[in-house]
Structure 1
Amino acid sequence: MIHQEDILFDILSRLPAKSIGRFRCVSKPWKSLLTQPHLIRTHLYRTKHLPNHDQSLILISEESHSLYSTQLNNAHHLFDEITTFATKLCFDDHRFGSTLVNNLCSCDGLVFVCDEESNMLLVNPTTRAVKKLPSSPYALDPHASFTMYGLGYDSVSDDYKVVTLSYYDTDNEHEPDCTEMFVNVYSVRNGTWKRAESSPYDHAVGHLASGVFVGGSIHWLASKTKDYSSVIVAFDLEEERFREVAPPSSVDRKKFVFDHLVVLGGCLCMFHLGGSCETDVWVMKEYGVEESLTKLTIIDHEKSEFRPMCLLGKEQVVLVKDEETADDKLVTYNLEEGTFRNVVVHAIPDGFRVGGTFMESLVSPRLEY
């Protein structure tokens, strides 16, 4: 016999996370029901397995030092542009700057960010829940080193982990000859930091980009320490060790260079800005299977530089178009038609930077279940 509670549970698990969040305020019994671990896991599973689950963007207003979110799936599609509205995200009294672009990473609706005071935060933009992470006892001097971040989920231990990858500035006075790549791992469930085995790769390549999570691992661009050839490396969250991800077989493995890594539609993607009107996109449709790598090409006769963010439906890629000004510009590119459309964002102070993407979920940054 099907009980009314089971029917209600099934209905709730299919609703958008924002709607469920509003229902939590109805009464204590509703709050208790809507914070059950089984509901949160079921809702997350169903959201992730939708054919094209929604991805929201996080924007940083340099005028108000605040974060905003916008969901392009709910935008108004006009002939030559897309218009959308931003929602302000309040996380206590924390303020954020443009450096957030280089340290924001997300997984299952949780977002890792650093505020202007260098506090490390784990937040859920949908529920507005926030957790301040303790400082790592293994952290390097921030004034003499560089750090990249990553966030992912370890399914074996049912734990979310924050990974920091740090190395000394070779020009600093403290450790001028130290080239070691230090790796620290924070367990959200245990609330503790530990030092993992150092990376055998050189991560001082390009900009300080956050790692991208897919297939149980966090991925970064790097180079080999012996011949300086480019590699894509994956930090396995279960084993907490690095391994290499094979590049496309048609690319020279000793010389290949990618500019960005990103997850589009759940697939690991590698972008290469060729310096011409074409930007190559390699999509690993089946994680870990080299033969599944498929090449797409973005053609722009203005030779702009793009930063990929997410998919909009099956045919459009959302891109950040780098301008000469400090502000970012959002565009979409239709892969089938080869056309661009501008994205206009309302309800945010003039000028913003795009920090990254996240999916809406009910997962708590405190793992209170």
Structure 2
Amino acid sequence: MLPQEIISDILSHLPAKSICRFRCVSKPWKSLLSQPHFIKTHLNRTKQLLADGEASLIFVSHDSCSLYSTHLKYTHHLSHNITTFATKLSFDNHLFSYANVFHMVSCDGLILVKDKKNKSLLINPTTREIKELPTSPYALNPRFSNTVYGLGYDSVNDDYKVVTVSYYHNFHGYDHCSTKMFVNVYSVRKGTWQRAESSPHDYDIGFSFSSGIFVDGHIHWLGARLSNNASSFIAAFDLGEDNFCKLSIPTWVASNHLVELGGCLCCYPSVMLATGNATDVYMMKEYGVMKSWAKFTVIHPEHLSLRPLCLLGTNQLVLVKNEGSIGAKLVMYNLAGGSSKDIVVHGIPNEFFVGGSFMESLVSPHCTTEAVTHC
């Protein structure tokens, strides 16, 4: 192998943050460590670490309206007290709120989030790169419509895509009725928006106002029939084909939200409250296979509001407890033993809110058609 190939192979095993520092060594190193092939190799190895039990979290400070991140490992559960330190993330002069960050979505280290001025931003918290997305020429008037978002990777066209589903709505008392829905797709590689041909006019996926969850080449939202507005299936947008398909949810699954845990699509109640202080979460262990839905149970000592964030290894589940209140806490819950430990986060001034999880990578939000093999 050539010397630079040896260097590339060795450095591809390092964390993304370390590689960012090596890029500053010299121009040749920066060029080498910014090549699409290297970024793709590093991303694949990082995904293996994620499977072994690593993840990062995004926070927003209530006081400064700034973003912060921290890194978690599976081995943290071995400590008597779990303590992490957050790093402040600066993205020009953009400010953020809890509402913005709560609806963030992530894929391969990229995060789609809106700032307080309602600008859609594609950011990489690790490399600190940021891209402001242009407004879609097909966007509906926000005064008369609502929009839900998703972000994912299209392996067919080697492209990251942002998907928006917008709909006009009418309100009749407390009943919500969607009338028209439109799907727009933004190609990060091309830097352009287009209207998807297959729009789901026979059902509503905006009733829960939830962001789309990316798993196995599809972005997922809960779907409801327009006739009764009751969650009855999962609407999956195929990024390779730019159209929707439907995944069934077992009739015995009561769910209001979706989340990705350990690479699998999961359903959980919007407020995890249950009789007997136990809440069931359902995981689709084999994508698209109805019979693969499996249940695991979160046991809590009192009625709490819980939101699952990520799964470290096979049995360490990270959750937000009492979200939205001053007493909100991060918790690492052991699925095997039923025990839990609070996670203390230092470095964020006063009150903060948790957005979600992401993986640290070198993927750039500025991928273009000139990129080779991978953004």
Q: TM-score, normalised by structure 1?
A: 0.91
- More displaced, 236-245 or 15-24? 236-245
Matched, 1:264 2:266: no
Matched, 1:19 2:18: yes
2:243 corresponds, among 231, 241, 252, to 241
Matched, 1:60 2:57: no
Residue-by-residue CA offset, 1:163-183 (whole Å, 9 max, x unaligned): 1112234249xxx98611221
Q: How has the CA–CA distance of structure 1 residues 118 and 212 changed in structure 2, closer, same or farther, with 3 Å as cutoff?
A: same
- More displaced, 152-161 or 71-80? 71-80
**1:76, 1:82 within 8 Å by CA — same for their partners in 2?**
yes
Give the 5 Å matches for 1:191-270: 191-196=191-196, 197-199=198-200, 200-206=202-208, 208-229=209-230, 230-248=232-250, 251-252=251-252, 256-270=253-267
**1:60, 1:353 within 8 Å by CA — same for their partners in 2?**
yes
Once the 2 structures are TM-superposed, how far is the Cα of residue 223 of structure 1 from its aligned partner? 0.7
Q: How has the CA–CA distance of structure 1 residues 115 and 266 changed in structure 2, closer, same or farther, with 3 Å as cutoff?
A: same
**1:47, 1:53 within 8 Å by CA — same for their partners in 2?**
no
Distance 1:56 1:195 in 2: 33
Q: How has the CA–CA distance of structure 1 residues 280 and 156 changed in structure 2, closer, same or farther, with 3 Å as cutoff?
A: same
Q: How has the CA–CA distance of structure 1 residues 30 and 288 changed in structure 2, closer, same or farther, with 3 Å as cutoff?
A: same
**1:327, 1:352 within 8 Å by CA — same for their partners in 2?**
no
Distance 1:144 1:84 in 2: 43
**1:103, 1:209 within 8 Å by CA — same for their partners in 2?**
yes
Alignment length (residue pairs): 359
User: Which residue of structure 2 lines up, in the alignment, with residue 317 of structure 1?
Assistant: 317
User: Which residue of structure 1 lines up, in the alignment, with residue 35 of structure 2?
Assistant: 36
SS in 2 for 1:170: strand
| Unaligned 5+ runs, structure 1 | none
Query: What amino acid maps onto 2:260 in structure 1?
Result: V
**2:186, 2:194 within 8 Å by CA — same for their partners in 1?**
yes
The alignment-based identity, stated in percent, is 56
User: Which residue of structure 2 lines up, in the alignment, with residue 119 of structure 1?
Assistant: 119
User: Which residue of structure 1 lines up, in the alignment, with residue 48 of structure 2?
Assistant: 49
Q: How has the CA–CA distance of structure 1 residues 323 and 135 changed in structure 2, closer, same or farther, with 3 Å as cutoff?
A: closer
Distance 1:360 1:35 in 2: 15
User: Which residue of structure 2 lines up, in the alignment, with residue 291 of structure 1?
Assistant: 291
Residue-by-residue CA offset, 1:37-60 (whole Å, 9 max, x unaligned): 110011111211344252100001
Distance 2:191 2:76 in 1: 42
**1:80, 1:342 within 8 Å by CA — same for their partners in 2?**
no
Once the 2 structures are TM-superposed, how far is the Cα of residue 6 of structure 1 from its aligned partner? 2.1
| Unaligned 5+ runs, structure 2 | none
**1:260, 1:307 within 8 Å by CA — same for their partners in 2?**
no
Residue-by-residue CA offset, 1:262-315 (whole Å, 9 max, x unaligned): 111111111134532221111112211222222100111302121110012322
Q: How has the CA–CA distance of structure 1 residues 213 and 323 changed in structure 2, closer, same or farther, with 3 Å as cutoff?
A: closer
Once the 2 structures are TM-superposed, how far is the Cα of residue 78 of structure 1 from its aligned partner? 7.1
**1:327, 1:351 within 8 Å by CA — same for their partners in 2?**
no
Matched, 1:98 2:98: yes
Residue-by-residue CA offset, 1:21-51 (whole Å, 9 max, x unaligned): 1111111111011101110011111211344
Distance 1:134 1:365 in 2: 13
Q: How has the CA–CA distance of structure 1 residues 356 and 178 changed in structure 2, closer, same or farther, with 3 Å as cutoff?
A: closer
**2:17, 2:126 within 8 Å by CA — same for their partners in 1?**
yes
SS in 2 for 1:29: helix
Q: How has the CA–CA distance of structure 1 residues 73 and 353 changed in structure 2, closer, same or farther, with 3 Å as cutoff?
A: same
SS in 1 for 2:52: coil
Query: What amino acid maps onto 1:41 in structure 2?
Result: K
Distance 2:92 2:364 in 1: 16
**2:147, 2:206 within 8 Å by CA — same for their partners in 1?**
no
Once the 2 structures are TM-superposed, how far is the Cα of residue 316 of structure 1 from its aligned partner? 1.1
Once the 2 structures are TM-superposed, how far is the Cα of residue 323 of structure 1 from its aligned partner? 4.6
Q: How has the CA–CA distance of structure 1 residues 159 and 281 changed in structure 2, closer, same or farther, with 3 Å as cutoff?
A: same
Matched, 1:346 2:343: no
